Amino acid sequence: MNNQSTYRIREIDARKDIFQIPDLIEFCFHAYLDPDGIEFIKKLRTTAESIKKQAIWSILPNNELNINGYVCINQDGTIIGNINLFPIRVLNHFAYLIANVCVHPDYRRQGIGRTMIEAALKYAKSHFVDAVYLQVREETGDVIRLYRNLGFQEDGRRTGWICPVNVSGTNNSIELRHEKPAWNEKRNYQIFFRKWYPETILWNLNYDPRIFQFGLFNQIPWILYQKRAEFFKIVDPYNQILCWVGWQPTSTFSDTLWFIPTDSCDEDRANTILMALRNRYSVTKPVQINFPKGCYVRSFLNAGFFVQSRLVWMSKSVR
């Protein structure tokens, strides 16, 4: 057991701490890092190396490094705990995302994590935000209980489904009737979009509202913007809408698919739709769909999707 007097918690000094933070994050989360997480660590290390080579770390402002939060330092000056704060906008309000909360295994169960979180909450309150948000893996029950004890409430449980590149080329014959959404369908679409993607979780899903345009006139600005994104509806033989689909290319490891089923879309229909989407969009790059836990599970699995993550989304008011 380590003596708490031998370590201290302070705000991140990005000019110095950036040399240790990536190693701690990687060490603590190595079993759970996805390609985007690996890329984040790589960027931190690249920045650290650049600072070291240019010997300008002593004059570079912390905010230029875009890394804020708190670290815990032991008696040797080694960082043994980390918590980051990222500014976000949720429901048109300024807020903070708490991320990368980790403590070295040799120093766990001593209250370090809780103390860092309390410091982050105090920081957020002093900066006049309405709330803080975070995501935690569903299997970490002890961590979820800690957040609940600190006043966080659960906003939802989401499954990150990912489909790898479809190298086999199977089921390429699947075709579905799809059309551009009509203007008079917009309200019905919004009802189902909010059902599957409520505003309390939409803030961290790479959402770009310009993709979801109704009527030819409203699609023109998006076309002129020269984006390759697609948005369409899928209908059955009786012209009944089964779902809306949005495809959003990204610069990260995987592209984003938005799957917005109506009440007419049962498991079998969803399975066929998801297989067709897999064949259409995972040709050169993986695609991912974020969806509420427990919904259309059989359809996703049968269509060749795999669980990438199971996350509990939580928030706390700090007003």
Domain segments of the chain as ranges: 4-129, 161-310
Residue 249: pLDDT over 80? yes
Fold of 161-310: Aminopeptidase (3.40.630)
Q: How confident is the model at residue 27 (pLDDT cuts 50, 70, 90)?
A: very high
Residue 1: pLDDT over 50? no
**Quick one: what percent of the chain has pLDDT higher than 70?**
88
**pLDDT tens digits, residue range 261-318?**
999 999 999 999 999 999 999 988 999 999 999 999 999 999 999 999 999 999 999 9
At residue 86, what are phi and psi to the nearest 5 degrees?
-120, 130
Which pLDDT value is given to residue 313?
A: 96
Helix (H, G, I), strand (E, B) or coil at 316: strand
Helix (H, G, I), strand (E, B) or coil at 84: strand
**pLDDT tens digits, residue range 80-128?**
999 999 999 888 889 999 999 999 999 999 999 999 999 999 999 999 9
C-alpha span between 118 and 208 (Å, rounded):
33
Between 171 and 146, the more confident residue is: 146
Q: How many CB atoms lie within 10 A of CB 285?
A: 14
Stretch 14-25: mean pLDDT: 92
Q: How confident is the model at residue 6 (pLDDT cuts 50, 70, 90)?
A: confident
Q: 164 burial class (0-12, 13-18, 19+ CB within 10 angstroms)?
A: middle
Which pLDDT value is given to residue 224?
A: 42
Helix (H, G, I), strand (E, B) or coil at 119: helix
In angstroms, the Cα distances linking 62 to 16, 71, 129, 138, 146 are 10, 14, 21, 33, 30
Which pLDDT value is given to residue 3?
A: 56
C-alpha span between 197 and 200 (Å, rounded):
8
Which pLDDT value is given to residue 227?
A: 58
CATH topology match: 4-129 vs 161-310: yes
Residue carrying structure tokens 């259309």 = 296
**pLDDT tens digits, residue range 34-56?**
888 888 899 889 888 887 776 55
Between 235 and 170, the more confident residue is: 235
Domain 4-129 -> CATH class? alpha beta
Q: Which two tokens stand for residue 125?
A: 């309150």
In the sheet that holds 153-163, the strands lie side by side as: 8-11, 68-73, 79-90, 93-103, 131-137, 306-317, 153-163, 287-292, 255-261, 241-248, 230-235, 178-179
Mean pLDDT score across all residues of the chain: 88
